[in-house]
Amino acid sequence: MTVAVYPFCPSIGLQVIFLFKLISLTTGHPPVSTQSPNFAWNLHGKPGDGYYTEVEIGTPPQKFSLLVDTGSSNLAIAGAPHEELDTYFATNNSSTYVDLGKDVKVEYTQGSWSGHLGRDRVRFPALLDSITVDTDLALITSSNNFYVNNSHWQGIVGLAFSALAQPQGKVTPWFDGLVAKYNVENSFTFQLCGPYKDKGISRHHGKLIIGSSSDVCPSATATSPIRRAWFYEVLVVNMAVGNKVLDIPCVSYNTDKSIVDSGTSNFRLPSDVFKVLVAELRMQTSALVPPLSENFWSGTEEVCWPFDREAWDAFPNITVHLAHSNTSAFPITIPPQSYLRPAPDAMNDTTDCWVLGIDESQTGTVLGAVILEGLCVTFDRGHSFIGFSKSSCGPNVVLGKIYNSSDWSSCVYMPNIVDGLTIASYVMGGLLLLLSLPLIFASLRWTWQSVLRPQLYPEVPFLTLDEPNT
Ligand SMILES: *[C@@H]1O[C@H](CO)[C@@H](O)[C@H](O)[C@H]1NC(C)=O
Ligand SMILES: *[C@@H]1O[C@H](CO)[C@@H](O)[C@H](O)[C@H]1NC(C)=O
Ligand SMILES: *[C@@H]1O[C@H](CO)[C@@H](O)[C@H](O)[C@H]1NC(C)=O
Ligand SMILES: *[C@@H]1O[C@H](CO)[C@@H](O)[C@H](O)[C@H]1NC(C)=O
């Protein structure tokens, strides 16, 4: 999920993050093994519902599943019964629970929740076998469009930077706490494998590796700098559908930002980019019979085809180019198997149904699971980059070579700081007006007395001596 942010909040949060960094530098512990002995998949779920992992909270531990989300920074767990959930965290049953006496609310671009701040022991048995971290958490007491019915997760663990954690400056995200307390490398890697069929039902799985490990994924062959430590913000410099490069100014891709978000299923695009990309996709798939409906392109209708007549070849690949440095970039090419997601239900024995995994966004580009599946993606917070390498599972994504180009500065979206400046200039202008009122009155009086009055009441002859006589 992508947490909603409002102008001017992040800069306050950013100062907080530096504070946390200073604090974390002062604590030193011997390195701990971060490799879970259980080498199986530790992320599960259904296409469209996100990837979740097991968690144990409290003493004695209560078991839940949390959505793993790089688009937010709070750890939150159902703290009250909800019609779409089968369980919730009962604080009364945990001897280590501490009430922090504050309320908290988090809004995502879709959905929101509010609840109460507390702290308790948190352990992710499939991520870090033996490590328990005392973690600030939110007990969700009310929510709106947040839980997904039958998704089997009861909360969320936000893995983005503390600048996004709510309330600002008051809580330490789980991962920050982990890195500060244990000598874990400040980095984690996602290997999302995308959909597969299990007894006729679409499911997906993957692996989240905390710290560095080259056992599962090869080390990154292409990296993109994290532009700012809040979301995992990167710079998109180009896009293509098939061989057709989109004819859009590259700043459009990053208006108002481009982020890597494991908790978003789709590949989300700013409206103007979405329109151009979909128009191109429609053109390149126009030979399909029957043609794809309007509702398919808006994401509200599925397309179905029989098992034995797979239509993949009719769809082009999509390429996204990410900045590697100011003057170089690399392409990621995803096949239709990435951007067509299995439709939630509508599965029967003879047909497969798919929905478009690309949609329109009001908050910039979101590189969601559609882009991450089929790659190993390292969120190297310590070195401030996102690394990509080939994965042994998932759709056949092609990670291209780094190439040199001209400066990407024209792709960078300049946040509208003018808003603040404009307000300031209005205030200054107002003050100036106020201060100069006497002067204005004086000049009006002068104008009246020496220009207008003489004209209206020409008792005194009014002569313009120095006007040329033509
Ligand atoms: C809390 O523990 C009691 C006693 O073990 C149990 O009966 C109850 O169901 C638990 N509450 C929840 C919400 O799990
Ligand atoms: C959730 O799904 C179940 C079926 O799996 C259904 O019975 C129930 O009504 C749904 N709940 C809501 C709130 O949609
Ligand atoms: C898409 O990319 C794959 C992998 O590189 C390639 O084999 C395939 O031919 C491409 N499809 C199209 C329609 O260009
Ligand atoms: C990249 O560009 C930015 C802004 O133009 C500049 O501040 C930065 O130093 C540049 N980085 C490198 C490595 O040249």
CB 79 within 8 A of CB 100: no
Of 209, 254, 200, the closest CA to residue 415 belongs to 254
Q: Residue 416: its pLDDT value, please?
A: 67
Pocket test for ligand 1, best of 93, 94, 95, 97 (most atoms within 8 A of CB): 93
Pocket test for ligand 3, best of 317, 396, 397 (most atoms within 8 A of CB): 317
Using one digit for the tens of pLDDT, what is the confidence trace for 445-462?
776 666 655 554 444 333
Higher pLDDT among residues 350 and 279, named by residue: 279
Residue nearest (by alpha carbon) to ligand 3 atom 5 = 398
The whole-number average pLDDT for the span 287-298 is 90
**Alpha-carbon span 12 to 226, nearest angstrom:** 19
Q: Is the pLDDT at 468 greater than 80, yes or no?
A: no
Q: Ligand 1 centre and the CA of 242: distance in Å?
A: 56
**Alpha-carbon span 227 to 233, nearest angstrom:** 5
**Alpha-carbon span 371 to 253, nearest angstrom:** 15
CB 369 within 8 A of CB 277: no
The whole-number average pLDDT for the span 98-116 is 96
Q: Ligand 1 centre and the CA of 86: distance in Å?
A: 13
Q: What angle do CA 437, 441, 446 make, to 5 degrees?
A: 145
Q: Residue 20: its pLDDT value, please?
A: 32
Q: Residue 356: its pLDDT value, please?
A: 97
Q: Residue 111: its pLDDT value, please?
A: 94
- Of 195-199, 362-366, 403-407, least confident by mean pLDDT is 195-199
**Phi, psi dihedral angles at 206 (to 5 degrees):** -175, -170
**Alpha-carbon span 37 to 274, nearest angstrom:** 43
Q: Residue 163: its pLDDT value, please?
A: 97
Q: Residue 418: its pLDDT value, please?
A: 56
Q: Ligand 2 centre and the CA of 75: distance in Å?
A: 25
Q: Give 431's pLDDT tier (boundaries 50, 70, 90).
A: confident
Nearest ligand, CA 411: 4
- Residue type, position 364, single letter: G
Q: How far is CA 261 from CA 28, 136, 234, 367, in A?
A: 31, 22, 11, 6
Q: From the alpha carbon of 89, which atom of ligand 1 is closest?
A: 13
Q: Ligand 3 centre and the CA of 400: distance in Å?
A: 13
Q: Residue 85: its pLDDT value, please?
A: 96
Q: Residue 433: its pLDDT value, please?
A: 73
Q: Ligand 4 centre and the CA of 326: distance in Å?
A: 6
Pocket test for ligand 4, best of 227, 326, 385 (most atoms within 8 A of CB): 326
Q: Give 244's pLDDT tier (boundaries 50, 70, 90).
A: very high
Q: Is the pLDDT at 238 greater than 80, yes or no?
A: yes
Tokens of 35: 């490799």
Q: Residue 37: its pLDDT value, please?
A: 40
Q: Residue 424: its pLDDT value, please?
A: 63
- Bridge partner list, 335: none
The whole-number average pLDDT for the span 115-124 is 98
Q: Residue 452: its pLDDT value, please?
A: 57
Residue nearest (by alpha carbon) to ligand 3 atom 3 = 335
Using one digit for the tens of pLDDT, what is the confidence trace for 249-260?
999 999 999 999
Q: 0.85 exceeded by the pTM?
A: no
Q: Give 350's pLDDT tier (boundaries 50, 70, 90).
A: confident
Using one digit for the tens of pLDDT, what is the confidence trace for 22-40?
333 333 333 333 444 445 8
Among this protein's residues, is 69 annotated catalytic? yes
Please list, in sequence order, all residues whose beta carbon lies within 8 angstroms of the beta carbon of residue 325, skipping any fewer than 6 positions away.
225
Using one digit for the tens of pLDDT, what is the confidence trace for 126-149?
999 889 999 999 999 999 999 999
Q: Residue 302: its pLDDT value, please?
A: 92
- Residue type, position 142, single letter: S
Of 87, 295, 294, the closest CA to residue 77 belongs to 87
Of 134, 137, 104, 133, the closest CA to residue 118 belongs to 137
Q: Residue 442: its pLDDT value, please?
A: 75
Residue nearest (by alpha carbon) to ligand 4 atom 10 = 326
Q: Residue 141: its pLDDT value, please?
A: 97
Q: Is the pLDDT at 351 greater than 60, yes or no?
A: yes
Higher pLDDT among residues 43 and 7, named by residue: 43
Q: Give 56's pLDDT tier (boundaries 50, 70, 90).
A: very high
Q: Residue 96: its pLDDT value, please?
A: 98
Tokens of 379: 């969120």
Q: From the alpha carbon of 313, which atom of ligand 3 is closest?
A: 13
Percent of the chain with pLDDT over 90: 70
Among this protein's residues, is 120 annotated catalytic? no
Q: Ligand 1 centre and the CA of 118: distance in Å?
A: 19
Q: Residue 32: its pLDDT value, please?
A: 38
151 lines ligand 4 (CB under 6 A): no
Tokens of 165: 């954690």
Residue nearest (by alpha carbon) to ligand 4 atom 8 = 326
396 lines ligand 3 (CB under 6 A): yes
Q: Residue 432: its pLDDT value, please?
A: 75
The secondary structure of the chain, three-state, reads CCECCCCCHHHHHHHHHHHHHHHHHCCCCCCCCCCCCCCCCCEEECCCCCCEEEEEECCCCEEEEEEEECCCCCEEEECCCCCCCCCCCCHHHCCCCEEEEEEEEEEECCCEEEEEEEEEEEECCCCCCCCEEEEEEEEEEEEECCCCCCCCCCEEEECCCHHHCCCCCCCCCHHHHHHHHCCCCCEEEEEEEEEEEECCEEEEEEEEEECCCCCCCCCCCEEEECCCECCEEECEEEEEECCEECCCCHHHHHCCCEEECCCCCCEEEEHHHHHHHHHHHHHHCCCCCCCCCHHHHCCCCCEEEECCCCCHHHCCCEEEEEEEECCEEEEEEECHHHHEEECCCCCCCCEEEEEECEEEECCCEEECHHHHCCEEEEEECCCCEEEEEECCCCCCCEECCCEECCCCHHHCCCCCCHHHHHHHHHHHHHHHHHHHHHHHHHHHHHHHHHHHHHHHCCCCCCCCCCCCCC
Catalytic residue (one of 120, 136, 176, 261): 261
